[in-house]
Structure 1
């Protein structure tokens, strides 16, 4: 049986001059007990008492009191929604089980007492309180939130209001228990009740009756009024305390989640990852704060756009923005955040002037279905690190509570400090790696210079001592001694020259003389230099594969020849004489030209493809090398190529399977000069 009508609504319709008030459940309990105690204290009264308890569990808490009340009156009626064994019955008093799903009484709380000398009426309906539901979900089990439930209704001793409320409830009882009609009719006669339907159809009769009964009004006990006021104030403070505890608990949970993400990184010995922190934070914050969509992204004051990488959406109906670009430079809300350095809130995007006057924001709101918008900056010591955004998507607007905004701002502060800490940790790891690399460089430098300088010096010393001490030495042997000393002195000169070259490159002291040149010319000069330094029988075959009409390159010619020469020397060093070295070139996009020096030599292990460009790197170790060299050639090549905006890298299929060295150089933009050179050629 569906009865949607509210008793409170019917009473207000009959007496529109009544004004409702807000009561906590604890206040209603105190009022009800006061009204019941008034009945129990009466000596000869036989009043009518009607109580509605919402649910059977609430009735069971008061069952003992109603056994005592039934001894004072034979007109006691108790209504409740059945949960276990509560049912329609006529024992010490009448019990009425109403429909727990279809009757509006499941949301209401009523107590009406009518006697010959006084009346009291308490008629209330429960208010929906989302904040209370949120608190109850967040608070520990030990907290009892039930007394803080809020009701809206009327408490009065006015006889007319009490009679109308009693009549409405008696008609509801007859709906469920029509067999009580005789008893209820007797109560109506004994207490002078009129049917609500006849009273509603006769306005003049209602006014006369109201006037007569108003004269019989009894003022409620001032002590009860003061008690209720005290309970209301105390319950309000308690509710605020609950809210504060819940908010603090939510903050701590979010902070703990972020801290756990940090700890996972640090405990594993790996650098902290800011992206992992943002990923955890957006999920936890999105669940804690009511929002259709929660975004956290990195942003700086000079950024034109931001790419969304971390997001929480409340349901599948809310579109995802992962991978989307959010405009910043042309975003008035973002610019307002930068200027004010505080959160920006848009209550209704459909009516906000900032949205209406910005084509960019209007497009964003329409595409992403944003109705209410909260943007909270992530600052650390005045530096913008990122943004937290909350979107409410739907037909209606949404007002985030102060507790919600305070929570978001607290988390923004925590994220800012955490990001700085993570970046500092990552920077520290980079510094540690650099220090380790420097230490390796120092060790290699000591070993290599000790070997590369001491060995030729020892040879030179032996040769010179022999020439000085043996004047009768044959001319042929003297020439051998001189040639050996000259060769080792040249070896030392090259070592020192490589040291100076790398130092100048790393310190930026090289003056580049860039010009547009054909690549073929530089390759020819590099091959000639290599052949001059190496005998023909020791050189492997060198093959050149350069396509015709190759564009000019914008480089310093001498240094480009140096790069190709060092790569050729390196290839010759590790390729047998029956092997092959190939030099090729091709366009790498519209801005760069790629040069490849490939050989069929000993190859490089995959895990060493990056470190071969380190200073003083020697594949066989510093003191047991068969190929010689300082280990600075590839490091010098990398410095030269990087200075021109190019890249250099190595590829190899593995040991004894050859290797390929690639580098890129910029293509000349002087097309007229290129055409002239091609024509003259």
Structure 2
């Protein structure tokens, strides 16, 4: 920390004033002691005898006179006092600089941090202040992102609800005004309004599902022990009929050894239902859906849902898990996509302690989900212990 000229002058003045006061005090004490010794011959003679009888060193030096000893002692004490006073005033100046920096930050300069480095407790105070400011700024930025996110959410929901609602009101208005020529037109218009209402309901249901998946305040979900190979087999059996209706087949590649993961079975079911349904809906030209799993590190497993359908554009890959984001080619009333499905998938996987990513080429589009193993599952625990024992024997 650099002192200003004014502060250096203040510090110098503090030292000079302290020195003058100490010299006056030393002089007063010297005069008092001198007068006391001079007025007491016995004390004066005793000091002289002690001085003559006490020697030190090979040259038998005598002690200094009491005046010199007193001056030496007072000089040491004076230096200590002056140093203490200057250090104390310097610490006050440091505190004044810190307060000035805090006022500067509080006036809206949130990108500023206390720049100087000190020692001891004062340095820890500065580090704590800078860390606190960083935390506050991060919270403010998060709050701004939440506000922006809310605005985008309202805008997207308004747009997606207004479009089918306008159609519903339009067709029902035609019926209400009696502009239908016959019963067939009434049924036609009411059926279109019904389909648009179904589209609105799907969006509302997706919104509710997304809010439920991302709600951190709700009680923790029940965690189940899930056999990965059994899960893959169940998914293959459950979607086999739907796959054949879409002209596709589901192929499954299990793990060589059974492993168990910790997750909520109902939530995980929604994840794979969403991914496989998307493969049917958007995997144009695809003939196969591939389900597979492989170990990921010592305490995880990677489950892959892939299809050989149309490639996802590269510009869309980094946004595909965003709310209301839809690949342009798939945003139509036929598919009825809400743009929330994959956002829900990511929220659920994250809440289960895992993560998801996607890759897409002309040959294959793959969603890869990492989930933690249930290391405390009895069978898995026995396998790990057996494996460790085998490793020790091999060594």
Q: Tell me the SS of whatever aligns to 1:583.
A: strand
Q: CA contact under 8 A between 2:302 and 2:370: conserved in structure 1?
A: yes
Alpha carbons of structure 1 residues 225 and 417: separation in structure 2 relative to 1, 3 Å: closer
Q: 1:417 to 1:501 in 2, by over 3 A?
A: same
1:43-76 Cα shifts (integer Å, max 9, x gaps):
xxxxxxxxxxxxxxxxxxxxxxxxxxxxxxxxxx
How far off its partner does 1:563 sit?
Answer: 0.5
The structure that is helix-richer by fraction is 2
Match of 1:439 in 2: 147
Judge conservation of contact 2:358–2:367 (CA < 8 Å) in 1. yes
Contact 2:167 2:193 in 1 (8 A): yes
- The C-alpha deviation readout for 1:117-151, integer Å capped at 9, x for no partner, is xxxxxxxxxxxxxxxxxxxxxx99xx99xxxxxxx
Task: State the alpha-carbon separation in 2 of the partners of residues 581 and 245 from structure 1.
Answer: 80
How far 1:240 moved relative to its partner?
1.0
Deviation, 1:445, is 1.6
2:199 corresponds in structure 1 to 491
Output the TM-score relative to the length of structure 2.
Answer: 0.59
Question: 2:36: which partner in 1?
Answer: none
Q: Quote the Cα distance in structure 2 between the aligned partners of 1:525 and 1:270.
A: 57
Question: 2: CA distance between counterparts of 1:545 and 1:479?
Answer: 49
Check conservation: 1:604, 1:659, Cα contact below 8 A: no
Correspondence for 2:246:
536
Q: Is the 8 A contact 2:291 2:306 kept in 1?
A: yes
The reply on whether 1:664 has 2:371 as its aligned counterpart is yes
> Displacement of 1:269 after TM fit?
6.5
2:100 counterpart of 1:232: no
1:582 shift after superposition:
3.7
For residues 194 and 237 of structure 2, the distance between their equivalents in structure 1, rounded to whole angstroms, comes to 25
Q: Which residue of 1 aligns with 2:25?
A: none
- 131, 145, 160: which is aligned to 1:423? 131
Pairs within 5 Å for 1:458-473: 458-467=166-175, 469-470=178-179, 472-473=181-182
Distance 2:379 2:165 in 1: 52
1:601–1:656 CA contact under 8 A, matched in 2: yes
Does 1:523 find its partner at 2:269? no
2:7 is aligned to none
Indicate whether 1:451 and 2:159 are aligned: yes
Question: How do residues 240-639 of structure 1 correspond to structure 2 at under 5 angstroms?
Answer: 240-244=80-84, 247=87, 285=119, 411-412=120-121, 414-467=122-175, 469-470=178-179, 472-473=181-182, 475=184, 480-505=188-213, 506=215, 507-508=217-218, 512=222, 514=224, 516-517=226-227, 518-524=230-236, 527=239, 536=246, 543-547=251-255, 549-571=257-279, 575-578=283-286, 582-598=290-306, 601-605=311-315, 609=318, 612-614=320-322, 616-618=323-325, 625=331, 629-639=337-347
Tell me, in whole angstroms, the C-alpha distance in 2 between the residues paired with 1:583 and 1:665. 18
Judged with a 3 Å threshold, the aligned counterparts in structure 2 of structure 1 residues 472 and 515 are, in CA distance, closer, same or farther, namely farther
> Which secondary structure does the structure 1 equivalent of 2:259 belong to?
coil
Aligned mates of 1:471, 1:563 — CA distance in 2:
45
Work out the CA distance in 2 between the residues paired with 1:613 and 1:550. Answer: 30
User: 2 CA distance for matches of 1:657 and 1:429?
Assistant: 43
- Give the conservation status (yes or no) of the 8 Å contact 2:232–2:252: no
Q: Which residue of 1 aligns with 2:8?
A: none
SS of the residue 2:164 aligns to: helix
User: SS of 2:147's equivalent?
Assistant: helix
Q: Is the 8 A contact 1:581 1:597 kept in 2?
A: yes
Higher radius of gyration, 1 or 2: 1
Structure showing the higher strand proportion among its residues: 1
Higher relative contact order (CA 8 A, sep 6+): 2
Shift in Å at residue 242 of structure 1?
4.7
**Cα distance in 2 for residues equivalent to 1:525 and 1:453:** 36
Match of 1:79 in 2: none
Q: Structure 1 residues 544 and 521 mapped into 2: Cα distance closer, same or farther (>3 Å)?
A: closer
The two structures have a TM-score, normalised by structure 1, of: 0.37
1:527-559 residue CA offsets vs partner (Å, 9 max, x unmatched): 469759xx726xx77654333544344444332
Give the match for residue 649 of structure 1.
356
Q: What is the total number of aligned residue pairs between the two structures?
A: 321
Indicate conservation of the 8 Å contact 1:602/1:656, yes or no: no
For structure 1, the residue ranges without an aligned partner over 5 or more in a row are 1-138, 145-155, 169-216, 286-410, 676-681
> 1:93-242 maps to which residues of 2 (within 5 A)?
225-226=66-67, 228=68, 231-242=71-82
Change (3 A) 1:648 1:244: same
1:663 alignment partner, SS class? strand
Aligned residues of 1:526 and 1:561 also touching (Cα < 8 A): no
Note the C-alpha offset of 1:562: 0.8
8 Å CA contact 1:649–1:663 kept in 2: the answer is: yes
- When residues 269 and 416 of structure 1 are mapped into structure 2, their CA distance, relative to the original with a 3 A threshold, is same
Could you tell me how far apart the structure 2 residues matched to 1:652 and 1:262 are?
Answer: 48
Question: For residues 363 and 94 of structure 2, what CA distance do their matches in structure 1 show?
Answer: 55
